[in-house]
A and B are shown apart, each in its own frame.
Chain A
Amino acid sequence: MTDLSHIRNFCIIAHVDHGKTTLSDRILELTRTVEMRDMKEQLLDSMDLERERGITIKSHPVSMVYRARNGEDYLFNLIDTPGHVDFSYEVSRSLAACEGAMLLIDAAQGIEAQTVANAHLATEQGLEIVPVINKVDLPSADVPAIMVQLEDVLAIPADEAVLTSGKTGIGIEDLLEAAVARVPSPRWADVEGLRVLIFDCIYDAYKGVICYVRVFSGSVKMGDQIMTMGDERKMQVKEVGRFSPAMTKQDSLNPGDVGYIVTNLRDVADLKLGDTITHSANPTKEMLPGYKEVSPMVFSGIYPIDTSDYNKLKSSMGKLRLNDAAFVYQSENSVALGFGFRCGFLGLLHMEIIQERIRREYDLDVISTYPSVVYLVTKTDGEKLEVHNPVHLPDPSVIEFIEEPMILASIHIPSTSIGDVLALVSEKRGVCEHTETIDGQRVMLVCNLPLNEILIDFNDRLKSITHGYGSMDYEMNGYQKAKLCRLDIMVNAEPVDAFSSIVHLDKAEGRGRALCKRLKEILPKQMFKIAIQAGIGSNIVARETISAYRKDVTAKCYGGDISRKRKLLEKQKEGKKRMKNIGSVSIPQDAFIKILKTSDGGSN
């Protein structure tokens, strides 16, 4: 058991790609937590998807021992966090388990939207912030400018900044010394009784539900009867341990420790993240401050390509949900796609990742529908409805008005691109409420925008307008009335409910045209010609025709070829199986995603 004065709990926070995980690598090396021969780049990004995409999706805790310059050993519990805005809830949960936060700033990029957002989150939770200017090895690094930004934007004294490079290893020891000197030792340790914060939960097929925890007071060990204070769920401790970074069994977890508790629960849904664990027999009095529950903002349908996979899909969603409380789903059905699920996500990246995990980890072919936000509909008879799926939008004749969710976006951009960004904001039906100067080169625009409009391609457009230097953070900002309607897409005169979307009336036509055009590009030519139309009610606003392909024949085909030929045709058939038949047209499963990804998919 380490003396509290020798424990430091901190997380690494930053804007996406500012080098958190790479810096963690160097820390793991310097503290010899991972043997050199087991080392690999971005080691803490352990999921396949994280490694492939080079981004962190989940927070990763790791414990290590650092021998400081004063000759004493310190137990560090570090949590690497994701930087992408979709996963900011992961960051706030990790912060709650720490006393300090290393706030990284890319020396070339400077302060960006999530830098500010995450710094605020850390301050709100009473954490000590250690500013770190990272990637100082880059030729384009501009440390003095970042120092000015630190003071001006975040009101952090520039002389507190530690200069590091996760690439060359410069400054890592200084950073760890700063952790010793500046991060407070574990707080609230002298409260009576066991108080443990659940900051994450995973489901392991062999062990069951495993909680990622931070112990504030008391101590917990195998065999303890514990319960959550929020919903008084009782459970038994089957194992406790630390992350080093693999789960490593310990006799007990004590105040200040970050580690895991294997419980006898089988369903993660039984637990609420942010809840406090205590001993059932002698519970502590007061719960730890928990966190706001996150609510999904983007909804889309996920359907199995092969209808007989419905149950498999259902169980895989259940399993995914076990490790991802932010993902919600419920069953629904679609005329075009059959039985499937309406799913809620934190954002588009989250949506993409869930879909990909379903495909990969569960080997399921799925198709997902056009994403939508939640609209509030007030009918003429006064009834109010929440509409998660465009198909459920009532007939216009019974709608009094529709409200859409708004966001308040903080958009950080170089001053030179302000005109273009303002044009983009207004194209997206947004209003710029005020602007703030960050420094001589950068400004922050605070804009009120419909959430729906930023879903599609806002971020990509922002990045391209600002040559990569623009970034955005947002929070929900209530609902606002808008002139909205449902845009339907018909394939060979059959409406494809899965392609329906709710759009602003003024944009419906342009959007309809863009969608038809894009569909024409995406849908492979088929044996028969395909008519694609976009319509609002019975009013067709756009149409395209995909001509049938004219040649699909192989010349030779004799006795010996019959089996071979059949195999070829079977192969062709298998290829088609990966598509969904709608209105007797085969639609590739990635069609919806592809439509989304086009720059003109969402606008005109």
Chain B
Amino acid sequence: MNKAGESAVDPVLSVYCHVPFCASTCDFCAFYQEKPRRGDLDRYLAAMDTEFALLPKDRVVDTVFWGGGTPGLLAAKDLERLGRSLLDNLKQPPSEWTIEMAPSAVKEDKLAVLRDLGVTRISMGVQSFHPELLESLGRLHRPNQIYTAWERVQAAGFPQTNLDLMFAIPNQSIEQWEADIREAARLGPTHLSTYCLTFEEDTALYVKLSQGKVSIDEERELQFYERGWELLAELGYAQYEVSNFAKPDAACLHNVNTWRMQEWIGCGPSAASQYEGQRYQRPSNLDEWAKGMEAGLPPRTECVDLDASILLADALVFGLRMNAGCDLDLIAKQFPAPDVLAQLEPLLSRLAREGLAEREGSKIRLTHEGRLVCDAIGSSILETIAD
């Protein structure tokens, strides 16, 4: 398996597909998604063909990730069409191919199609096993749907599986959080992701927050983080990033690629790309995106031209979120911006002095305490460079 960006100076390439359909909108969701309507689906699938046709033919695509939205909501034949279209445009099948599924939409026929396509990894948004917590998130599934879905996934025999869990949900107790982790681990996926509930603008939960119906309690969130990390380690899931935990060799390479500032091409409305020196995004609107694709003018918004210093800074900011941390010599080679690294040196050594980071040779990684304040560290890095 390719060691995503760890050694290569040539960037690794990933493809992300955004499937913008959901059966209903979850209370915490800020992703771009729409209700699935047949007309829209067909238009989407056709425009995706155009997206895929644009993929470079001379480069190996190492990983593919289908997210959303709810990719798993597509009918088996639509999944098949989308998958084939992609494969037709790839030099060789990807070594890792993940698809996100909602428990309520996991059906045998879909799983069979996915298996055939060569999907290697199923990621399921469980969030919690507690009905009342699922309720307060405005989620569609019930706990028994999780179990049914899980049985089906297992039966289909995908090499890798992930379950998403959520914590610091209003009214969730620390015991409930522990129980959710234990239950997820009992099911035995190769990977677990845990997300602290965030209040994104334009979400139903955010409205509740601004109405004072729920509140953010940093101290409580901290407890949830720490307890989660501790318990997951006990249960054999090693943390490799702030919110990601895996059994040996089961890290999600696709995500590691992005954190290592490699390249990725996003297909579909709202999908973001980092490719050939630019970051950009497709419009977060099905119609606008599809129109552009249909007219042969793939729309790009939010374009940012990248240079070595931006990439180096981001490789540190996002790399330090990973337990492995960064190899400064390596990123200096990948993103040659020697001044930037020199500028950062006092900050990095201070982090080490204050017990927030550990250094060994050219490697730097955050300690437990450091990881808990990695946003502050990230902004200090950007701040130091900007000055």
Contacts and interface: CB of A to CB of B under 8 A. Distances in A.
B255 A558 contact: yes
Contacts of B321: 557
Contacts of B372: 550-553
B373 A553 contact: yes
Given A527-B380, A553-B225, A555-B196, A560 B270 contact: yes
A555 B194 contact: yes
Contacts of B218: 551
Contacts of A528: 350, 354, 356
A559 B264 contact: yes
Q: Say what secondary structure dominates the interface of chain A.
A: loop
B63 to A, nearest CB: 10
A551 B16 contact: no
A591 B58 CA distance: 59
B263 to A, nearest CB: 10
Contacts, number: 110
A549 B196 CA distance: 18
Given A559-B272, A562-B318, A527 B376 contact: yes
B380 A562 contact: no
A555 B242 contact: yes
B258 A572 contact: no
A569 B271 CA distance: 21
B383 A573 contact: yes
A546 to B, nearest CB: 14
A479 to B, nearest CB: 45
B290 to A, nearest CB: 19
B377 to A, nearest CB: 7
Contacts of A551: 218, 221-222, 225, 372-373
Contacts of B67: 558, 560
Contact of A556 (B222, B243, B382): B243
A557 B196 contact: no
B373 A563 contact: no
A562 B272 contact: yes
B304 A563 contact: yes
B145 to A, nearest CB: 23
A570 interface: yes
Contacts of B270: 560
Given A553-B225, A559-B264, A566 B314 contact: yes
A549 B373 contact: yes
A559 B376 contact: no
A303 B160 CA distance: 58
Contacts of B302: 563
Interface in B49-99: 65, 67
B266 interface: yes
Contacts of A526: 376
B279 A563 contact: yes
A334 interface: no
A599 interface: no
Interface string A367-378: 000000000000
A576 interface: yes
B195 A556 contact: yes
Contacts of A573: 379, 382-383, 386
A554 interface: yes
A527 B382 contact: no
Given A554-B375, A560-B271, A563-B304, A569 B225 contact: no
B274 interface: yes
Contacts of A572: 375-376, 379
B46 to A, nearest CB: 23
Interface string A453-476: 000000000000000000000000
B274 A527 contact: no
Interface string A561-591: 1110110111011001100000010000000
B14 interface: yes
A528 B380 CA distance: 12
Contacts of A559: 14, 16, 65, 254-255, 258, 264, 266, 272, 274
A528 B354 CA distance: 7
A570 B382 contact: yes
Interface in B349-382: 350, 354, 356, 369, 371-380, 382
B281 interface: yes
Nearest to A559: B258
6 contacts: A528-B350, A549-B373, A550-B369, A552-B372, A554-B198, A569-B382
Q: Which 8 A-B pairs have the closest CB atoms?
A: A572-B379, A559-B258, A560-B272, A552-B376, A551-B222, A555-B243, A555-B196, A569-B379
Interface of B: 14, 16, 18, 65, 67, 194-196, 198, 218, 221-222, 225, 242-243, 254-255, 258-259, 264, 266, 270-272, 274, 279, 281, 302, 304, 314, 317-318, 321, 350, 354, 356, 369, 371-380, 382-383, 386
